[in-house]
Amino acid sequence: MLGVVKMEKNFIAMQDLIPTKNDTPYKRILAIGDVHASFEKLISLWEKISVTDKDFVIFLGDYFEGGNKNFKTLSWLMEKNLNENIKMLLGNIDEAFLGYFASLRPTTIEEAAFIKQIQDFIKNLPLYHKIKIGGRDYIFCHAGINPEKPLEKQDKDEFIWEQENFYASYNGDAVFIVGHKSPRKIMNYFLPQFSELDTLQPVRITHKNILLLDTRAKDFNGYLSCVDILTGEFWQS
């Protein structure tokens, strides 16, 4: 049965998912949920987590949203993406925005160059990132996978769109860290009796090795969230 594991202070109750040892070169492995062009929340969160060169940071996709903050947000993200300790993954909205950028008619050489830079950025975003920590696989992607297929056989849509089948049927040992759907939406869909819980925080689906990080940054009262996979500590904008 699906449920949520609630928070205690600023740590996710995910003790059995925390690596037994950290055999990576990093002090922290930080996963950040869906940004949705929430530039102020992105900067607020970034200041709180105080990233250093001893950290590895993974963004889970969906950097765009309607409104005028896309270009400011993308400029910041593309600059950070040059850092070898930062990995940015593809989300379904990012994929959809390729069509939007293809329809633009830039009026200057500078505008055309910037639009092409954004298109190249999106096209080169990987679908997932896998890290082995303490002998266990930790897999980061935007939405999930088809549990009936091995990881290497998944197609793009499964990584950026897969939903109910993944939440309900995945029972593997590998830990998945995903965004795409907020915990509130997922829990209301599967378990309406959990709708009263504060699910604007990262949560783990009970008895499943799945962490949910989309905490509705695009909403006025939502947050952009970050979790340290090595400890379960989390921060919010």
Cβ atoms of residues 159 and 128 within 8 Å: yes
What's the structural domain count of the chain?
1
Burial of 68 (0-12, 13-18, 19+ CB in 10 A): exposed
6-17: average pLDDT: 58
188-199: average pLDDT: 52
At 3 the pLDDT is 41
Cα 59 from Cα 38, distance rounded (Å): 14
Structural Rg of the chain based on CA atoms: 17
At 191 the pLDDT is 53
**Bridge partners (DSSP) listed for residue 32:** 59, 226
- Looking at this protein, which amino acid is placed at residue 200? L
pLDDT at residue 223 is higher than 80: yes
Structure tokens at 203: 């949560």
At 181 the pLDDT is 81
pLDDT digits over 64-93, tens only? 886 567 888 999 999 999 999 999 999 999
93-113: average pLDDT: 90
Burial of 167 (0-12, 13-18, 19+ CB in 10 A): buried
At 79 the pLDDT is 95
pLDDT digits over 146-165, tens only? 999 999 999 999 999 977 78
Cβ atoms of residues 30 and 228 within 8 Å: yes
Q: What angle in degrees, to the nearest 10, is found between the helix axes of 70-80 and 39-49?
A: 30
Cβ atoms of residues 174 and 193 within 8 Å: no
Range of the domain at 219: 4-236
pLDDT at residue 1 is higher than 50: no
Instruction: Report the DSSP pairing between strands 175-178 and 136-141.
Output: parallel
**Bridge partners (DSSP) listed for residue 225:** 236
Cα 10 from Cα 111, distance rounded (Å): 43
Q: For residue 38, give the CATH number of its domain.
A: 3.60.21.10
Burial of 190 (0-12, 13-18, 19+ CB in 10 A): middle
Q: What is the DSSP letter of 143?
A: S
pLDDT digits over 117-157, tens only? 999 999 999 999 999 999 999 999 999 999 999 999 999 99
Q: Which residue has the higher pLDDT, 33 or 7?
A: 33
Cβ atoms of residues 51 and 79 within 8 Å: no
At 69 the pLDDT is 74
Cα 167 from Cα 191, distance rounded (Å): 12
